[in-house]
Amino acid sequence: MTQDPAARRPWARAADAGLAIAAALGALCIALAVAAAVFDVRIVMFRTGSMSPTIPAGSAAIVNGIPAADIRVGDVVMVERAGQLPVTHRVVGVDGIPGADEARSIRMRGDANAVDDPMPYEVTEVRRVVLALPGVAPVLVALGSPGVMGALTIAATALIIVVFWPRRRSDRVEPEPAETPPHDTPSPGSRRARRAAGVGAAVALALTGGSLTVAPAPA
């Protein structure tokens, strides 16, 4: 006895939608991982508001590493400090260091601060803010929590099981060739859907590796 195609269609569409979302997330995380490795791109989170209103507390920003020679007044950069958390402020002055052509002494100030930081920073490289998104940091923190990571892993695994789980012959629907549109949405067992599931399988691993690219940036 065959199953009614109309009854299976909502489940097939739901499975395809889940696979498409998983594939998109997997591709995004893989792209971020590649960018982190090749272009030294990181995601930093702002816990305080010293860069308000430009970058308020709770924002997340994409930063990339640049040599000190490329620092310009007006850049918002993150400076690593030995034994302390990094600081991310706007550059208000750049000076050379005698005898160190690749190093610079930079003066910085938070947009919400009335005075410069107490001391200049001598650096050979920094991370420059490329894009900041307000309110995103709490979402990233939640996504990186063990509970959410576990749920994403289970969801990705479940999607793959649904796609590759063998179906009984009696449950398979063989539509007439004339009734099947040439570009119909692929069923969960189709070759294209399986490729999407393969990409979606990378979501858990990519998110786990991608979490290593996220660093706090207290101002």
Among 135, 158, 192, which residue terminates a domain?
135
The Cα–Cα gap between 196 and 200 comes to 6
Mean pLDDT by 10 residues, the chain (219 residues): 54 68 69 71 87 92 93 96 90 94 95 95 95 82 66 68 60 52 51 54 50 48
For 143, the domain range is 5-39+138-214
Cα dihedral value 165, 209, 14, 189, nearest 10: -30
Q: How many domains does the chain have?
A: 2
On whether residue 219 sits in a domain, the answer given is no
Q: How many Cβ atoms are within 10 Å of 169's Cβ, its own excluded?
A: 8
- Residues forming a β-bridge with 45: 60, 216
Among 117, 135, 153, which residue terminates a domain?
135
